[in-house]
Amino acid sequence: MSDFRRRNLMILGASALVSVILAGLALYGQAEATKTQFKPGEFLPGFSAQVKDSARIHVVSHSGAFDVAYSQAKGWVLPAKGNYPADFNQVRHTLLGLAALETVEPKTARADWLTYLGLDTPPKGNGIQINVTDASGHELASVITGNSSVLETGEGGSGLFVRLPGDNQSYLARTVFTPHGELSDWVDTNVMSVDAARVNNVTITPFSGAPYTVSRGHSSDVDFKLDGPPPPKGLSASTSQIDLIPQIVSNFAFTDVRPASELDFSKAAHLAAHTFDNQNIHMDAVQANGAVWVRISAQPDPGTPTMQKQEAGMINARAGNWAYELATEKGQFFSMKRDNLFTKAEPQAQPGGESPLGHIPLGALNGAPH
């Protein structure tokens, strides 16, 4: 009886194995047939010929939706930011990247699997949808992009999962661009570029309290010094804090932008920076919604070379109508008084090699024999 049952189990197991193999062969054959029928090519046929007519890019991601629009007077701008200039390189890379998208092979068409490829429909899903239209509103291209992938072929480019809106069929495509669904990635950050070696001194007039200045005598000096009387006994000027102040100018960066007309600068704090080559950078600062916003202007010293005048003109043209939100670590200095730049002085070694801790030989603290 036992042998009979064992024999039956072996027969059933063999039959199941054969069934699995046959099913696998059938699926493999179907996949190969699909691959044979599929021909790689442009994912957005015809867009490469129409890309020059692009006038609006509509981007939707899990973070929300925004537009990038073109006008003959201002170029590419961001309507959601009061028509602030868009990063032209971002625009160019996106449009040319969409035009160059090339399908490599088809992937899943199952709606419940799209999330694993980053292709769920935004804004609820994790994909990034990009729609491009011309000046009349006619759609030139529309795509949902997902996760990046490594291409096994050696033909260059990187892999990107894509699909058309309204179609669950997904593809692995070859791409030369990275989709960006965050509005902040499309903002033109080129406001001014002042090399750190140029900065001579910076004076800040905070929201309350007297002005204070940090400066250095030569461009080769590594650290800035706090001008004015020395710190009270037991305190010293914090070099690490002081050296951050010139970086407000030399490493200018912002976290948001809005029209300056939306803020009241009548009671602003101020920053005035002077460079060794006689350029002057001015910032007016106000507080709004827990952040510090600045507007920027530039004016060279009288009689400076043409280069400084041109630089000031470019800064004023780019920044003149805008207010920029500073990161907290930079905006904090407009609320700090001079005394806030002092820190507890480090203990000093006593004459004769004695430790400030008393008559303990310094060598004893290092584990040396005494």
Confidence bin at 106 (pLDDT 50/70/90): very high
Give the pLDDT score at 283: 98
Q: Mean of the pLDDT values across residues 179-185?
A: 96
Q: State in Å, rounded, how far the first CA of the chain is from the last one.
A: 91
Q: Mean of the pLDDT values across residues 16-23?
A: 48
Q: How confident is the model over 42-93, as pLDDT tens digits?
A: 999 999 999 999 999 999 999 999 999 999 999 999 999 999 999 999 999 9
Q: Mean of the pLDDT values across residues 16-43?
A: 58
**Closest-CA residue to 215 (of 229, 205, 228, 206):** 228
C-alpha–C-alpha distance, residues 67 and 88, integer Å: 14
- Other CB atoms within 10 Å distance of the CB of residue 161: 23
> Is pLDDT of 16 > 80?
no
Helix, strand, or coil here: 125?
coil
% of the chain with per-residue pLDDT over 70: 83
DSSP 8-state symbol, 120: S
